[in-house]
Structure 1
Amino acid sequence: MDKTNSMRIVQMLQDYIEENLQNSITLKQLADYSNYSPWHIGHMFKEVVGKSPYEYIRLRRLTMAALVMRDENKKVIDVALDFVFDSQEGFTRAFTKEFGISPYKYHKQTPPIKLFLPNKVYDTFKAINYIYQNEGRIGEVMKTVFVQIIERPERKCLIKRGIKATEYFEYCEEVGCDIWNVLTSVKEALYEPIGMWMPENLRNNASEYVQGVELPLDYDKTIPDGYELIVLPPCTMMIFQGEPYDDEKFSVAIDEVWKHIDKFNPELYGYKWAPENGPRFQLAPMGYRGYIEARPVQKC
């Protein structure tokens, strides 16, 4: 079987697992669902995801259980049973081993933990009254980028710095590609996690590109090892949002938005670029909503 077809089947199984995390899931069920043998499914899943179906299901259940305890006032035993653990003791052992904290303590304190997020390849902004369109054409389709303004107040930001990284792939090589898993767990997050290009005055002799999540000024929980809590100044951000795209074409979608930004003149709308006022940031590329990136500006 070719790699593309294997990935398609595993993606289908991941979707099935997500829909049934609170039900019994066996390897035979996955095999019957995909019309392949249990051995073939186990081998294919491990090859594509890097984990066996059993391990993947266990980690997804633990992660979803953590999110329930973070957001809802439910007893540990009820959460354990909801996610198909045989007993509270077994759930507690598995949870503590995976996250380094007991479920009871996590429910009370909700510190940042490293969640297990599916490996598949975030604010809805209010648009203001202008749209910037591409002057060129790709095929016969006119590409549109929506341009919006938002105000970010002074806030804290939990970040993980790299060493010399100037973009995402360099950053992954320096610190790993699973920082999002920790940032997503933060209950007090004001918005979804972001990738940021830090201005010179905020780099602290470290990488230009970092990942982080914005938090209220009164956030005072334990900071995970290797992370840093900084204060970001209030700033005005100009948001650029491209058209929806096929997920596998994310690099093309990002490049299209960057080309728009390179040509865009904010002074036509009473603003100018202000790169030192705050970090430029990007939201996680998701095809259904288009690529979204923000640049700091100030009124002329």
Structure 2
Amino acid sequence: MDEAEAIMAVQQMQEYIDDNILRKITLKELAVAAGYSPWHAARLFKEVTGKAPFEYIRTLRLTKAALVLRDSNEKIIDVAMDFMFDSHEGFTRAFSKQFGLSPSRYSKYTPPIKLFMPEKVFDTYREFHKGEKMMSEKNNTKSVFVQVVERPARKVLLKRGKEATEYFAYCEEVGDVWSVLVSVKEAMYEPIGMWLPKHLIKEGTSQYVQGVEVPTDYANNIPDGYELIQLPPCKLMVFQGEPYNDEDFMDAIGEVWNHIERFTPSVYGYQWAPEAAPRFQLAPMGYRGYIEARPVKAIN
């Protein structure tokens, strides 16, 4: 069996699970989605994702249930039933085992927790084999939208690496952080990857980190290994590229970076202020284009 075909079959099972997460799913249904026998489909799924199909389904259901509890006032028993748990007690046991606290406590306090956020395995496979090439200068340069925004005083909940100066090295050093950051109910904005200014880098830690900005009065739990630091008000110049196909995200990032390197902020009456705030990037999403922000200050 071709490797790409096998991984594509697993992604087809993932997509079937996503589409049917609120109803009973059988191994036979997954096998039909994959185009293999039930035994072979289950073996492939475990080999590629590291989880047996029903362990994967249960873990994903618990994450989605946690988000409902975080963002709504639904009763725990109703959430449990919606996500195919037979009883309040069974849901509570499973939830407590996965997240380290009961659903009632989580619903009340909503501390950051580690959510299960599986990537689509075939998409990841395709990107890996495509390689990490960056777009070089081209004659048909695409448009990049530029604006200046103001950020208020705030804090950022982050996790430091050791030596990382960019996303891929950070992921190798630290692993999955995003699944915790997206669970933060008090988040002011979506999670970000940040290049810290020198004065915010602790000795022996990385320049590149991931975190989420929260209000200055944030008083919820700080997960082990994370840190809460203060950021002053600042101005940021935000660069947003054109929408792109998701598989072309490295090219899209390169296009924006090329534009920033050529850009003169004085056109807008500003100059770069790298020590005023972290430079940051949003998660690349093709429908909105790649977005990156760099700190600036007004030219007097």
* Alpha-carbon distance, 1:217 to partner: 1.2
Q: Which amino acid aligns with 2:180?
A: V
2:214 match: 215
Which segment is superposed worse, 59-68 or 147-156?
147-156
- SS of equivalent residue, structure 1 residue 277: coil
- What letter corresponds to residue 185 of structure 1 in structure 2? S
Whichever residue aligns with residue 7 of structure 1, its letter is I
Write the letter of the residue equivalent to 2:256: V
Please give the TM-score of this superposition, normalised by the length of structure 1: 0.90
1:7 aligns to 2:7 (yes or no): yes
1:118 CA drift (Å)? 2.1
List aligned pairs for 1:56-67, cutoff 5 A. Answer: 56-67=56-67
2:199 aligned partner: 201
Q: Quick one: distance in 2 between partners of 1:256 and 1:135? A: 8
Aligned residues: 284
- Rounded to whole Å, the distance in 1 between the matches of 2:230 and 2:208 is 17
Q: Which runs of 4+ in 1 moved over 3 A?
A: none
SS at match of 1:275: coil
Stretches of structure 1 that go unaligned for 5 or more consecutive residues are: 122-133
Offset from partner CA, 1:4-40 (integer Å, 9 cap, x none): 3333333332222112111111111111233321122
Structure 1 position 289, deviation (Å): 1.9
Instruction: Provide the alpha-carbon RMSD of the alignment.
Output: 1.6
TM-score (norm 2): 0.90
**Equivalent residue number for residue 73 of structure 1:** 73
| Residue of structure 1 in register with 2:146 after alignment | 147
**Cα distance change on mapping 1:6 and 1:250 into 2, 3 Å:** farther
Question: In the alignment, which residue of structure 2 is the partner of 1:249?
Answer: 248
Please, which runs of 5 or more residues in structure 2 have no aligned partner? 124-135
- Check whether the contact 2:141–2:255 (CA below 8 A) recurs between aligned residues: no
Query: Match of 1:131?
Result: none
Read off the aligned partner of 1:277 and give its amino acid letter: A
CA distance in 2, matches of 1:112, 1:40: 37
> What is the aligned partner in structure 1 of residue 157 from structure 2?
158
Query: C-alpha separation between the residues in 2 aligned to 1:5 and 1:256?
Result: 32
Distance in structure 2 (CA, Å) of the matches to 1:71 and 1:192: 15
CA shift, 1:44, in A, is: 2.2
Q: Which amino acid aligns with 1:157?
A: V
Name the SS for the 2:275 alignment partner: helix
Query: How far did residue 152 of structure 1 move?
Result: 0.7
- Counterpart residue number, 1:103: 103
Q: Would you say the 8 A contact 1:49–1:119 is kept in 2?
A: no
- Separation of aligned partners in 2, 1:142 and 1:166: 27
Residue 295 of structure 2: SS of its match in structure 1?
strand
1:99-129, Cα deviation, whole Å (9 max, x unpaired): 00011111111100000012134xxxxxxxx
Separation of aligned partners in 1, 2:119 and 2:137: 36
Write the distance in 2 (CA, Å) between the matches of 1:156 and 1:243: 30
1:229 Cα deviation after fit: 0.6
* Separation (CA, whole Å) in 2 of partners of 1:155 and 1:281: 15
